[in-house]
Amino acid sequence: MKRFLGVMESFEQKITVILDSPEQQIRVTNKGIDLCNRVLTELKDLIEKEDLESVEEEIHFFKEVKPSIMSYLIYFTEVRSCEIRKPKAGVNFQVRFFEKEIKKVNKFFYRNIDFSHYMELGHNYLDHQLFTRNYQNNFPFTPLVNYYQFPEFSTSHDMLWSKIKAMHRFLHYIRKCLGELRPGRSFISPERKHPVLFWTSSKTALTELIYALYSDGALNHGAADLNTITTSFEDFFNVKLDNVYKTYSEIKARKGSKTKFLEELMLNLQQKMSKEDSL
């Protein structure tokens, strides 16, 4: 899968710039859609020139690589649709509009509850049917997503998995819009609120932690992408991470230990346990 790494790293950097852009939302979505289409075409061309070498590589590509880009294409398409259709005036009208959008998303998840449950629990026993092209006509869950597809560049469920990932991100967009319409009003249940916490270590250390959790698939059973994790950490710890990809590159270029913060965490915890055991 090394041949896709350069494409993916470039995409992650460019998508971050687009998401952080202060431009009008509709322009942001147009740029995002254009980028996703170009990168998907590039990946498709790579597959056509040199096909995937094994079943394991095929599963990885259609379960991890393609959905990470396709999910953004679906997300930007949904956001653009919202921006075009939402009422132009009247806070109450706009709030009701977004509340209806939440209901639509909930219905989508309910209709695809079996597959969503399979993916978010981290199962893989059906991956050879869901994420290889040989099983497109023989799958246990009925996909309800029919975006444009190419037989050589699609499996029975990679598009559905992409939309599930996109809808999680789309819900975050809706909650943000509702928060802007009704400042000070919480759109999350009281028991989910957390006290104000500030990240007081370095931003590089936080980036190291984020990448560790992302690479381990420790959040949402591996369904959370890097941008979602980063945004969540920024919200929770009241910190702004400027460019996690640049910071990550700097971490990889370190001389000596590349996981300094994680090793310090482990050492400090072990020392604490040893100290408590000796009491």
- Average pLDDT, stretch 109-126? 85
> How many other C-beta atoms are found inside a 10 Å radius of the C-beta of residue 26?
12
> How many other C-beta atoms are found inside a 10 Å radius of the C-beta of residue 105?
17
DSSP 64: I
Flag whether pLDDT at 169 surpasses 70.
yes
Which residues, at least 6 apart from 103, have a Cβ–Cβ distance to it below 8 Å? none
Burial (CB count <10 Å: 0-12, 13-18, 19+), residue 10: middle
Residue 76 has a pLDDT of: 94
Residues 5 and 94 in one domain: yes
Phi and psi at 155, nearest 5°, equal: -120, 180
Q: Is residue 188 part of a domain?
A: no
The H or E element spanning position 208 is helix 203-216
Q: Which residue has the higher pLDDT, 231 or 73?
A: 73
Q: Measure the CA–CA gap between 72 and 227, rounded to whole angstroms.
A: 11
Task: Select from 77, 63, 228 the least CA-distant residue to 162.
Answer: 63
* Domain closes at, from 182, 216, 247: 182
Phi and psi at 242, nearest 5°, equal: -70, -55
Residue 73 has a pLDDT of: 93
Q: Measure the CA–CA gap between 256 and 253, rounded to whole angstroms.
A: 9
Residues 139 and 21 in one domain: yes
Flag whether pLDDT at 107 surpasses 60.
yes
Q: Measure the CA–CA gap between 229 and 216, rounded to whole angstroms.
A: 12
| Model confidence band, residue 12 (pLDDT cutoffs 50, 70, 90) | confident
What is the span of the domain harbouring residue 232?
193-279
Residues 153 and 262 in one domain: no
Q: Is residue 109 part of a domain?
A: yes
Residues 48 and 110 in one domain: yes
* Domain closes at, from 128, 147, 182: 182
Q: Measure the CA–CA gap between 255 and 258, rounded to whole angstroms.
A: 7
* Domain closes at, from 128, 150, 182: 182
| Model confidence band, residue 195 (pLDDT cutoffs 50, 70, 90) | low
Q: What is the mean pLDDT of the chain?
A: 83
Residues 174 and 225 in one domain: no
Residues 133 and 211 in one domain: no
Domain count, the chain: 2
Residue 139 has a pLDDT of: 47
Flag whether pLDDT at 147 surpasses 60.
no
Residues 107 and 239 in one domain: no
Residues 266 and 165 in one domain: no
Q: Measure the CA–CA gap between 94 and 151, rounded to whole angstroms.
A: 40
Flag whether pLDDT at 190 surpasses 50.
no
Residues 22 and 98 in one domain: yes
Q: Is residue 107 part of a domain?
A: yes
Per the listing, tokens 């099983």 go with: 135
Overall residue count recorded for the chain in this entry: 279
24-61 tens-digit pLDDT: 889 999 999 999 999 999 988 888 888 887 888 888 88
Q: Is residue 28 part of a domain?
A: yes
| Model confidence band, residue 242 (pLDDT cutoffs 50, 70, 90) | confident
Residues 65 and 171 in one domain: yes
Biggest CA pair distance of the chain: 66
| Percent share of the chain, pLDDT over 90 | 21
Residues 144 and 44 in one domain: yes
Flag whether pLDDT at 105 surpasses 60.
yes
205-236 tens-digit pLDDT: 999 999 999 888 888 767 677 878 888 888 78
Per the listing, tokens 């710039």 go with: 17
